[in-house]
Amino acid sequence: MDRLFDIKGLRIFLPGGYGALGEAIAMALTRRGAHCAIAGPNGGKAAALAQKLACVGVDTYGFELDARRPAAIAEVVDRAAEAMGGIDVLVNCVGVQREQSLLDVTEEAFDAVYETNLKSAMFLAQAVARHQISQGGGGRQIHLLSVRSQLALRGRGYSAYCATKGGLVMLVKQHAMELAPHNITVNGVAPTFIQSERIRPHLERDGFRDFILDRNPLGRIGEPVEVVGQIITFAAPAGSYMTGQIVYVDGGVTASQ
């Protein structure tokens, strides 16, 4: 019971780990004693965050990664595993949105969102699973999704985003089935709008904040720590009997619509 939420010593690969939610997740994981390899397209940002987090006494690493390229994923995952001595947990925070209305969607934009949100998840999961299986002892894979994996959005151009996040739900379920014999669990955490610098401009737009609050049963914007808590649960012993599941951290939005 005392170790239910203990993640001390886990070796965690965190692509997208310096983004709006990724940094909060990385900070929480390292503060609780996990070792982290942070990766993203800006290698300088990944390295700077890794250096900042190392002050709590854990091993941290930063890598440059273009997650749209499966070959790059395989290479960086191998380097992260070598640096940490293995990978116990994948926390996939990679994701983008390029808003275009249905009649204006371009092939270039749709492919960019697909490659970043869905294709990358496939090959991140594959590369990490290969290490987890060869290590023995099981492991965890956690993907960051969105309420848009279940709900469409009226009046906005979310075709690519909703399609890729919805596809990721089924990828999580299928990977959970294929990796279960290896004692590797696969789950997703799907938040709604969460307080961050990235969404601040949207919340300051006339009427938008009220629109978000009016449709949220709890009547407030979520905090990053409320997403982090579920990530820790899935990574820790407390989450050992959950797999193929998506947990919506959304103040009740998906329960009411």
CATH number for the domain spanning 203: value is: 3.40.50.720
Residue 252 lies in a domain: yes
User: What is the arrangement of strands in the sheet containing 89-92, beginning at the earlier edge strand?
Assistant: 60-64, 35-40, 11-15, 89-92, 139-144, 184-191, 246-249
Give the bridge partners for 178, in sequence order.
Answer: none
Residue 6 lies in a domain: no
Condensed to tens digits (0 to 9), the pLDDT of residues 2-21 reads 899 999 999 999 999 998 89
Question: What pLDDT, on the 0 to 100 scale, is given for residue 154?
Answer: 86
Q: Are 34 and 60 a contacting pair, CB within 8 Å? A: no
Question: What pLDDT, on the 0 to 100 scale, is given for residue 257?
Answer: 77
Residue 5 lies in a domain: no
Condensed to tens digits (0 to 9), the pLDDT of residues 111-131 reads 999 999 999 999 999 999 999
What residues have CB less than 8 Å from 182, skipping those under 6 apart?
129, 132, 133, 138, 139
Question: What pLDDT, on the 0 to 100 scale, is given for residue 188?
Answer: 98
Residue 1 lies in a domain: no
Q: Which residues of the chain have pLDDT under 70?
A: none
Residue 30 lies in a domain: yes
Alpha-carbon distance 65 to 79, whole Å? 11
Residue 128 lies in a domain: yes
Question: What pLDDT, on the 0 to 100 scale, is given for residue 153?
Answer: 86
Question: What pLDDT, on the 0 to 100 scale, is given for residue 123?
Answer: 98
Residue 2 lies in a domain: no
Question: What pLDDT, on the 0 to 100 scale, is given for residue 209?
Answer: 80
Q: Give me the domain span that covers residue 239.
A: 11-256
Question: What pLDDT, on the 0 to 100 scale, is given for residue 168?
Answer: 98
DSSP 206: T
Question: What pLDDT, on the 0 to 100 scale, is given for residue 189?
Answer: 98
Residue 151 has phi, psi (to 5 degrees) of: -120, 135
Q: Are 196 and 19 a contacting pair, CB within 8 Å? A: no
Q: How many domains does one find in the chain?
A: 1
CA nearest neighbour of 183 among 153, 140, 149, 222: 140
